[in-house]
Each structure stands twice: as structure tokens, then as C-alpha cells.
Amino acid sequence: MQHETRMPPANASGFTCRNDALIVSLHPIALVKSRGFVITTQLDCYVEENQRLAQLGRGAKRMVMQLFLLSALTMCAFAANSILTRMAVDGGHIDPAGFALVRVAAGALVLGVMVALRGGRLPLLRRNRIGGAVSLAVYMIGFSLAYLTLDAGLGALILFGVVQITMFTYAAMTGAAPTARQITGAAAAFAGLVLVLWPDGQGSTDFMGAGLMVAAGMGWAAYTIIGRTSGDPLAATSANFLLCLPFMLILPALAGAHFSMAGLLLGALCGGVTSGLGYALWYAVLARIDGGTAAVAQLSVPIIAILAGALLLDEPLNLTLLIATALVLGGIAWAISARSAPTDRR
């Protein structure tokens, strides 16, 4: 009886591939062919895997580039708040209180529409909502009044430095023991603020304007601290803007208001676009990056404001301002890159 070799069901090449394992007969010719088929199959798998990894790499690069561009756009929007306020208030197009009122109203409108479009609700009756609205009002009024006399870049530097130092002090007093690195960084930033505010006999810095910006910075720091526990920062910001409106009506009612169409447009642009849309964009970015990266990214805001003020508003760049900027931003960067040591505070 003649022995007959049974071959499995074959594909176009005469062989069957099942779960990446080749089933072949024991015939020598078939074995040679099978080895070639296995090698070809492995090569195909390698090519497919490399193509998949390449696609993932391109996707990751696109994501990083998108995050970078969104972050840069947001930081430019934040810096533009100083430029637009300086243009409107110092240019006499609108009074500071009126500008703050228009800015808050436009921001509340834009943020409210965005919350409504996504089907959300405004949390108007939450805890600390009044505290958030009051601190936001302090920031808005102080910010607008300060730019009657301060340059845009100098104001942004004071604001940013005060916000970071205030938040650092709050954290040190209530949450974590500061490290030596954090203390030295905060000290360097404080030294930079002292340097830029120190009288030089030429009247380069107006103390009233600087004091108002310090108050604005403390108000924004308080607003940030109060809002840290919010589960939906966009809705919380929209609610705070809306509740802030009654406070913004007090100063124009008491001191009177003057405005032009240019002033109203600048206020609406500052509130609706660079503030409202800027905050919404920043919250979207924050969900995709870590806190350290976010803090470092914000270091660019005073630099952008200083350069934009020099280019657009012909504001002077002097050595004192540059040294103070290096101290403030360098000190903050040094401090935020350190880790805090937890401590038990009872």
C-alpha cells in the first residue's frame, strides 16, 4: 500500500497560515518552501509593526505641536490683556472702571455661551462663590487703574511676581514646608520686584500704579486659590464673572464714566477674546499637561508683554527692567521646579 502525504488546505502559495504558525507537510521540498514563507511572513509583520510605530510617532509629534501652539496662543492672549488695557486706559478711550465693567460683561457673555453650548449649568450658589467674585473684582479694578501710569510690560511683571509669591506664601503657611530651593527662588523673585519698584530719582515707576497692581496680583492669587477645588473651572469662571458684574457697577456709578467706541471695542476684545476665550483655551490645555509644565509656560507672559509693549506702545526697555525680569522669572522657575516636603500642621 502506497503511503500518501496529506497536505493541509493551501493558500495561493500552497501553504496555510493559522495564528502566525505555518502548517506544512513533512515533504523536503515543502519544508524548504515553508521556511521561505515563514521568513516572508515575519518580514511582513516587521514592516507592518514599523509602519504602526511610525504612525504613532507622527501622531505623538502632532499632539505635542498642537499643545505647544495652543499654549503659546494662550500665553499671548494673557499678555494681550495688559496691552489692550494700556491702550484703552492710557490712551483716554475709556475710564479704568468703565473698561473693567465692559471687560467683565464681555467675558461673562462669552463664557456663559460656551458653557451653554456644551449643555452645562452655571454653579451660582456654590460655596466660596462670593469670595471668588469679590477677589475677581479686586483684580479687575486694580488691573485697570494701574495701567493709567504703568507700562504694560512692567505691570505684567509686577502682577505675575505678586501672584506667584502670594500663592507660594499661602502654600507654605497652610500646606507644605518650603524647601531651601523654594525659599531662595521666592527670595530672588521678591528681590526682582524690589529692584523694579525701588525709586531711582527719575520717577520711572509710579508707586500708586504699582500699589494698585500689587493689589490686583493679590486679588488674582486669592481667586486662584479659591477656585482650586472647582470640578468644572470653565463653569466656575463663568459664574464668577457673572456675579462680579454688580461689584463692577459701583465705581462707574460713583466716579462717573467716559468712553468712546474705540474704548468699548478694546474692552470687549479684552473681556470676550483674550480673557474669556483665553481662559477656556487654557483650561483645555491644562487637562493635557502637568502642573509643572503649566507653571513654566506662564513664565513667558511677562516677557511677551514687555516685548509687545516695546514694539506696539513704544515703551522703553532699560537695564533695570531686564535684570528685574531675569530675577523674578528665574526665581519663580527655580522655586516651582522644586518639590515640597509634606508636613503635619494641626
Q: Give the residue extent of every domain in the chain.
A: 1-43, 79-342
Range among 11-25, 48-62, 263-277 with highest mean pLDDT value: 263-277
CA 245 to CA 221: how far, in whole Å?
19
Range among 184-188, 216-220, 291-295, 331-335 with highest mean pLDDT value: 216-220
Q: What is the pLDDT of residues 5-27, one digit of tens each?
A: 444 444 444 444 444 444 444 44
Q: What is the pLDDT of residues 174-226, one digit of tens each?
A: 876 778 888 888 889 899 888 888 766 554 678 899 999 999 999 999 988 88
Q: What angle do CA 262, 69, 57 make, to 5 degrees?
A: 165
Residues 6+ apart with CB under 8 A from 87: 93, 266, 313
Q: What angle do CA 56, 62, 65 make, to 5 degrees?
A: 140
Alpha helices in 175-277 (DSSP H): 180-197, 207-226, 233-248, 250-255, 261-268
Report residue 16: phi and psi, to 5°. -120, 130
The dihedral formed by the CA atoms of 101, 107, 110 and 114, expressed in degrees to the nearest 10: -140
CA 23 to CA 173: how far, in whole Å?
72
